[in-house]
């Protein structure tokens, strides 16, 4: 369900409880005579240091039974070097062109005490790639050792859930987060990836939930780690309104499940009959197997209907409209599948999933913001379907929506009333061994021994196949040629393609998990060199460039993988007559990790020579989407094993 719609439903449903008074919000101020702060020498190599970071989210009673929400941010930043100057000489305001600005101030304090204050006329609008227009202003005259201070307050659309990211790439010495509202409204606050307690006080008939954080370290972007998922953050939600009942919890998971079920099944008998006509016309009612029904419906809808993420209007998402114009937003698309599945008697549940790359669904803390991605769950098969992703087919869904919690909406009936209750549990990913990125290659030297003929198959299954299917299905002929050229060049180090074909590229091939195969034949002189009477075969480059991980700083985050998978490579090399390989044991590489008796990741390379044929066999595998910090060193060694293979050069010498 589109979260904007959910918020609208929530706000309308709660308007009677959240009665209005005249607005009265806190005003932000700054020191009349600011001074440069002394910074500990341990921060001298940082580009900048945030001295203080204050966030305030305030809910104020307004007229007409409404509540307004105001957001304030106030920062003071000490600049250490040119990187810091570049990072803070322009300030983006976190608001759009439609936001109602209450106040904005900014200034730079130079080392000699001179103060340069922002002229509000210098605030400009800038249009970003997402189509939205934002506010920006420049701070001129910044120098090493100066400080930047700015704050702004704006009125925003009222929602009763939110999150504040309280960690950056540079250190923050002090952070304060306040959620303020009328005394009758009780917001709960929870921290993630770190621990901080929240105070709850009432002052002048305002309830203030406050968190104070000291000495937050900077967080670096790291390979195989999701920055957004690991960053320190504080989430908040409205949980109680004491003007009604001090014990009745608001915005629970059960309430969300009920709303989801109500919205997605909201269509008339006439619309339901129209969906039934579609079922009959396509002969789906003649199918007896549930999986056959699911896959036939999905394939038809994704080929004949268009999903528009930005379509939020009630009329545009009415089932009759969707059936007529063949375009639906999130709600309309979900209604279309629902009506058809109900016609066919398919056993399903709605699921709203989190995203492992960003924010997870927490059983104990009902932040509805974290349930953004609607999917269908089929209990009989224990499989999923992603209706809003035309590039995925049952049972494959966007991988980051799996391996994390989801809100399962379990249907229940009470008399004539049918609704849903919430169950928070993991959306399991498909088994790791169903996703492969394999390679089969045969290398043979030409008679002049100065180039190789390479017959190669790149094989993709499961999650690994989706992006390539997407690319091949939505590209024109010229774009497809470029895709094939780039994929081939990565492995064969050559654009001299003699033959190419792509097999099983259709989206419908995802359901039976048919491998997408790119088969090419090339000639390459890049993998072979002469060194006097010897030949040097750069066989390590035949698997394509690999990631290399070196740790200059201590690792901060655990390991995140997009999906568990296997990479099996089989490389055959025809040894030319009269030559022998002098260093075949350089191919032997083995690095594995076993957890509770089960190998969970590893890189193993072996070989055999029969007659004039060298056969190299590599199995690299990662069974999980997540590896904890205590396993990082082994993970890094395994990742580097593939990079080590890249460096293997076989020496061919003449016999006797």
Of 105, 75, 88, the residue nearest 48 (C-alpha) = 88
**Which of the listed residues 241, 265, 290 is the one where a domain comes to its end?**
241
What was the pLDDT predicted at 99?
A: 66
Q: What DSSP letter does each residue of 353-401 carry, written as one string?
A: E--TTS---BTTB--GGG--EEEEEETTTTEEE-TT-TT--TT---GGG
* Domain interval for residue 31: 18-241
Tokens 């901080």 map to which residue? 196
What was the pLDDT predicted at 96?
A: 62
What number is the average pLDDT over the span 144-164? 93
Residue 529 domain-assigned? yes
What was the pLDDT predicted at 22?
A: 37
- Going from the C-alpha of 532 to that of each of 67, 247, 404, the distances in angstroms are 83, 86, 57
The stretches of 172-289 forming alpha helices (DSSP H) are: 227-230, 253-264, 269-282
Angle between helices 253-264 and 330-344 (to 10 degrees): 80
Least confident piece of the model among 2-16, 39-53, 268-282, 395-409: 2-16
pLDDT exceeding 70 applies to what percent of the chain?
95
374, two tokens: 């609607």
The whole-angstrom distance between residue 223's C-alpha and the CA centroid of its chain comes to 14
Q: Assess whether pLDDT exceeds 50 at residue 10.
A: no
Residue 309 domain-assigned? yes
604, two tokens: 């193993």
Torsion over CA: 221, 234, 41, 553 (sign): negative
CATH code of the domain in which 437 resides: 2.60.120.1130
Structure confidence by residue, pLDDT tens digits, 567-601: 999 999 999 999 999 999 999 999 999 999 999 99
Residues 449 and 410 in one domain: no
**Model confidence at 123, in pLDDT bands (50, 70, 90)?**
confident
Q: What's the angle, vertex CA 73, arms to CA 69 and CA 76, rounded to 5?
A: 170
Residues 161 and 275 in one domain: no
Residues 206 and 325 in one domain: no
Residue 248 domain-assigned? no
What number is the average pLDDT over the span 389-397? 96
**Strand bridging mode 233-241 / 206-216:** unpaired
What was the pLDDT predicted at 550?
A: 83
Residue 559 domain-assigned? yes
Residue 3 domain-assigned? no
What was the pLDDT predicted at 3?
A: 45
- For residue 49, the cross-strand partners are 78
Distance CA 622, CA 602 (A): 7
Number of domains in the chain: 3
What was the pLDDT predicted at 98?
A: 56
Q: Assess whether pLDDT exceeds 50 at residue 19.
A: no
Cβ-based burial of 36 (10 A; exposed 0-12, middle 13-18, buried ≥19): middle
What was the pLDDT predicted at 343?
A: 97
**Model confidence at 122, in pLDDT bands (50, 70, 90)?**
confident
Structure confidence by residue, pLDDT tens digits, 436-461: 999 999 999 999 999 999 999 999 99
pTM over cut 0.95: no
What was the pLDDT predicted at 106?
A: 93
Mean pLDDT score of the chain: 92
Contacts of 331 (CB under 8 A, 6+ apart): 1, 2, 5, 263, 264, 317
Residues 59 and 196 in one domain: yes
CATH code of the domain in which 210 resides: 2.60.40.3140
More confident residue, 3 or 403: 403
Residues 297 and 421 in one domain: yes
- For the chain, the C-alpha Rg in angstroms (whole number) is 30
Angle between helices 477-492 and 463-473 (to 10 degrees): 140
Structure confidence by residue, pLDDT tens digits, 191-247: 999 999 999 999 999 999 999 999 999 999 999 999 999 999 999 999 999 987 778
Q: Assess whether pLDDT exceeds 50 at residue 6.
A: no
What was the pLDDT predicted at 255?
A: 96
Distance CA 174, CA 167 (A): 11
DSSP 3-state assignment of 232?
coil
Of 182, 223, 212, the residue nearest 19 (C-alpha) = 182
Of 614, 612, 607, 609, the residue nearest 587 (C-alpha) = 607
Residue pair 184/150 in contact (Cβ under 8 Å)? The answer is: no
Structure confidence by residue, pLDDT tens digits, 320-366: 999 999 999 999 999 999 999 999 999 999 999 999 999 999 999 99
The stretches of 38-145 forming alpha helices (DSSP H) are: 82-88
Residues 466 and 488 in one domain: yes
What number is the average pLDDT over the span 479-497? 90
DSSP 3-state assignment of 448?
coil
Residues 279 and 399 in one domain: yes
**Which of the listed residues 408, 427, 446 is the one where a domain comes to its end?**
427
Distance CA 563, CA 462 (A): 10
Residues 390 and 534 in one domain: no
């Amino acid at each position: 369900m589109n979260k904007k719609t959910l918020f609208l439903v929530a706000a309308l449903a709660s308007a009677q409880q959240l009665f209005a008074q005249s607005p009265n919000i806190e005003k932000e101020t700054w020191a009349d005579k600011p001074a440069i702060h002394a910074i500990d020498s341990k921060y001298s190599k940082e580009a900048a240091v945030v001295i203080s970071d204050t966030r305030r989210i305030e809910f104020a009673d307004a007229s007409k039974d409404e509540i307004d929400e105001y957001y304030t941010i106030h920062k003071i930043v000490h600049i250490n070097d040119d990187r810091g100057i570049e990072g803070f000489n322009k300030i983006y305001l976190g608001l759009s062109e439609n936001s109602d600005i209450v106040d904005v101030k900014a200034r730079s304090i130079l080392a000699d005490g001179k103060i340069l204050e922002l002229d509000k006329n210098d605030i400009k609008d800038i249009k970003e790639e997402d189509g939205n227009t934002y506010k920006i202003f420049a701070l001129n005259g910044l120098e090493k050792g100066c400080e930047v201070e700015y704050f702004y307050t704006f009125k925003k659309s009222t929602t009763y859930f939110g999150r504040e990211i309280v960690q950056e790439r540079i250190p923050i010495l002090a952070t304060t987060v306040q959620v303020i509202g009328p005394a009758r409204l009780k917001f709960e606050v929870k921290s993630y990836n770190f621990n901080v307690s929240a105070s709850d006080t009432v002052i002048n008939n305002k309830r203030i939930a406050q968190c104070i954080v000291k000495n937050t370290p900077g967080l670096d972007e790291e390979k195989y780690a999701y920055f957004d998922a690991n960053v320190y953050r504080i989430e908040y939600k409205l949980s109680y309104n004491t003007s009604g009942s001090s014990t009745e919890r608001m915005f629970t998971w059960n309430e969300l499940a009920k709303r989801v079920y109500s919205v997605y099944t909201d269509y008339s008998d006439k619309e339901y009959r129209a969906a039934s006509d579609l079922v009959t016309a396509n002969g789906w009612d003649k199918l007896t197997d549930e999986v056959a029904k699911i896959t036939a419906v999905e394939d038809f809808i994704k080929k004949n209907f268009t999903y528009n993420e930005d379509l939020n209007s009630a009329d545009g998402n009415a089932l009759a409209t969707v059936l007529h114009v063949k375009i639906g937003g999130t709600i309309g698309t979900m209604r279309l599948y629902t009506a058809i599945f109900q016609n066919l008697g398919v056993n399903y549940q709605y699921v709203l999933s989190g995203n492992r790359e960003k924010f997870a669904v927490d059983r104990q803390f009902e932040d509805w913001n974290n349930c953004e991605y609607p999917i269908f769950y089929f209990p009989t098969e224990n499989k999923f379907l992603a209706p809003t992703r035309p590039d995925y087919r049952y049972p494959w869904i966007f991988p980051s929506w799996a391996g994390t919690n989801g809100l399962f909406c379990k249907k229940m009936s009470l008399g004539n009333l049918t609704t849903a209750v919430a169950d928070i549990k993991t959306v399991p990913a498909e088994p790791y061994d169903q996703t492969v990125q394999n390679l089969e290659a045969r290398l043979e030297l030409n008679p002049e021994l100065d180039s190789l003929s390479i017959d190669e198959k790149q094989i993709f299954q499961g999650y690994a196949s989706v992006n390539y299917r997407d690319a091949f299905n939505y590209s024109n002929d010229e774009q497809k040629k470029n895709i094939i050229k780039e994929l081939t060049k990565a492995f064969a180090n050559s654009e001299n393609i003699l033959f190419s074909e792509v097999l099983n590229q259709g989206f419908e091939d995802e359901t039976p998990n048919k491998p997408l195969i790119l088969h090419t034949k090339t000639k390459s002189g890049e993998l072979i060199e002469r060194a006097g009477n010897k030949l040097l075969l750069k066989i390590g480059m035949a698997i394509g460039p690999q990631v290399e991980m070196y740790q200059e700083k201590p690792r901060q985050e655990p390991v995140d993988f997009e999906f568990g998978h296997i990479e099996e490579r089989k490389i055959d090399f025809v040894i030319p007559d009269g030559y022998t390989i002098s260093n075949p044991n350089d191919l032997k590489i083995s690095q594995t990790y076993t957890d509770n008796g089960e190998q969970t990741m590893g890189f193993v390379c072996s070989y055999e020579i029969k007659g004039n044929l060298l056969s190299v066999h590599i199995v690299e595998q990662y069974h999980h989407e997540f590896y904890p910090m205590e396993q990082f060193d082994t993970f890094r060694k395994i990742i580097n094993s593939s990079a080590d293979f890249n460096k293997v050069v076989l020496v061919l010498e003449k016999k006797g």
